[in-house]
């Protein structure tokens, strides 16, 4: 029988298929569509210290083979999350990974990590230091556009400094979710590893723009948004491959996974596990279908463990 089990830091998964943050809500929204207990892990929608309404609409639009979104981390804040969302999640019997971020002050990460570290049943913490949708990426100043400051994950030094500090406050598995909007993804990945992260999540969305030619206005209220879906898969795969070659740390691969074969590409490129994002919005059962597909692939090709497939790209 083929073994789908993988390890990410202290976290042991019965299978390597999880759902990506932001596309699965807080899991309860999908309870009528799939058996949540079959998932390898669930990553929650990103939580911030205080409640946040997110960005103004329109916040999503379709693009060729993809989706552009600028939700802006809409969430109820840590207090309401623990009171209203966590009770359902902790009873599932599936590893729960809580994604956290900061809207303005990186110090908020410390408060969130300290709070979550006290929750025994919490499996891991994802550090979302790469969301491109925290308000408009550009602000109007007269007739010019001025780019806002870098994301933490766009600066290796900032990434190192934050994770190094957070590592002191928890022994739980830390996952650093990195941005693809960089020159060299391996530099940031190496900084995250050196600082003490247990795993790297690759990749978050690509900064993108869509225009309504009738109105000559952006289709997204914040002008730009994050592009996800099959359109980004070849680039995401390249980044996973590059990091796997240079940084020896578990990788959660994501970016346009829509079926078993696209999931397999990420394992072959070097990912230890995968997360399904945009595809959940198209087919709520896709994660279960991928789990079954991986079993069949291993059986058909006489591969004993999914671990034997990781990083097997022949160049």
Active site residues: 131
Q: Residue 16 has which token pair?
A: 């390597």
CB 129, CB 47: distance < 8 Å: no
How far, in Å, are 111, 112, 210, 247, 294 from residue 170 at the CA level? 11, 11, 41, 23, 33
**Which helix (H) or strand (E) segment is 67 a member of?**
strand 66-69
**Which helix (H) or strand (E) segment is 200 a member of?**
strand 199-202
17 closest CA partner among 304, 282, 262, 299: 262
Count CB atoms within 10 A of the CB of residue 311.
17
Count CB atoms within 10 A of the CB of residue 207.
17
Our measurement of the distance from residue 301's CA atom to the centroid of its chain's CA atoms, rounded to an integer in Å, reads 30
For helices 107-117 and 156-167, give the axis angle rounded to 10 degrees: 30
Report the Cα–Cα distance between both ends of the chain, in Å, rounded: 29
């Amino acid at each position: 029988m083929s073994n789908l089990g993988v390890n990410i830091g202290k976290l042991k998964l019965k299978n390597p298929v999880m759902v990506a943050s932001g596309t699965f809500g807080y899991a309860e929204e999908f309870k009528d569509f799939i058996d949540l207990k079959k998932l390898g892990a669930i990553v929650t929608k990103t939580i911030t210290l205080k409640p946040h309404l997110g960005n103004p609409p329109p916040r999503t639009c379709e693009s060729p083979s993809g989706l552009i979104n600028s939700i802006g981390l809409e969430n109820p804040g840590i207090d309401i999350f623990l009171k209203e969302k966590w009770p359902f999640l902790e009873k599932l019997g599936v590893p729960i990974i809580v994604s956290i971020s900061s809207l303005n002050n990186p110090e908020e990460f410390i408060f969130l990590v300290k709070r979550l570290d006290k929750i025994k049943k919490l499996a891991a913490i994802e550090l979302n230091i790469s969301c491109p949708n925290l308000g408009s990426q550009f602000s109007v100043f007269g007739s010019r556009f001025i780019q806002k400051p870098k994301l933490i994950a766009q600066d290796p030094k900032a990434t190192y400094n934050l994770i190094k500090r957070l590592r002191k406050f928890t022994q739980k598995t830390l996952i650093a979710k990195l941005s693809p909007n960089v020159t060299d993804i391996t530099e940031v990945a190496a900084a995250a590893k050196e600082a003490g992260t247990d795993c790297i999540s690759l990749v978050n969305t690509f900064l993108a723009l869509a225009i309504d030619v009738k109105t000559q206005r952006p289709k997204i209220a914040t002008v730009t948004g994050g592009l996800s879906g099959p359109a980004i898969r070849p680039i995401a795969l390249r980044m996973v491959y590059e990091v796997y070659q240079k940084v020896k740390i578990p990788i959660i691969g994501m970016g346009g996974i829509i079926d078993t074969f696209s999931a397999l590409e990420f394992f072959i490129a070097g990912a230890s596990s995968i997360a399904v994002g945009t595809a959940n919005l198209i087919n709520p059962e896709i994660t279960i279908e991928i789990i079954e597909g991986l079993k069949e692939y291993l059986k058909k090709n006489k591969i004993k463990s999914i671990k034997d497939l990781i990083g097997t790209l022949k160049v």
